[in-house]
Amino acid sequence: MDKVACRTPAEGRDGVTNIPVWKFDAVRAAILGALENGPILYKDLNAAVQSRLDDQTLADLGKLGWHVVTVKLELEVRGEIERLAVKGPQQIRAV
């Protein structure tokens, strides 16, 4: 099974997490879809992703929150999304 190496943008953290391509693609599409209308609060990301995945995909995915964080960090490394430099809760947007 093909996997995607998911990295983290945090300095000093070199770990790579490998997840199946289909899981990465599903969560990536849902994250980018959630950001189509502008920035959202990080705390709202799980619910936004969940609402964009069908029940079977959610069941096959496993722990949604873990996958959302893993894919979000890789998308930051790739420059597809970014954290906004604002005070208060973390916000993210598509680049």
Domain ranges of the chain: 3-94
Q: Does residue 31 have a pLDDT over 90?
A: yes
Q: Does residue 13 have a pLDDT over 80?
A: no
Give the CATH fold of the 3-94 domain: Arc Repressor Mutant, subunit A (1.10.10)
Q: What is the mean pLDDT of the chain?
A: 95
Band of the pLDDT at 92, cuts 50, 70, 90? very high
Q: Does residue 6 have a pLDDT over 80?
A: yes
Task: Please count the other Cβ atoms lying within 10 Å of the Cβ belonging to residue 51.
Answer: 10
Residue 11 confidence (pLDDT): 81
Buried residues in 12-42 as b, exposed as e (16+ CB within 10 A): eeeeebebeeebbebbbebbeebbeeeebeb
Three-class SS of residue 34? helix
Q: Does residue 12 have a pLDDT over 90?
A: no
Q: Does residue 45 have a pLDDT over 80?
A: yes
Q: Does residue 14 have a pLDDT over 80?
A: no
Q: Please answer whether residues 66 and 6 qualify as being in contact, where contact means their C-beta atoms are separated by less than 8 angstroms.
A: no
Q: Does residue 18 have a pLDDT over 90?
A: yes
Q: Distance (Å, rounded) from C-alpha 39 to C-alpha 3?
A: 28
In sign, the C-alpha dihedral spanning 47, 19, 24, 88 is positive
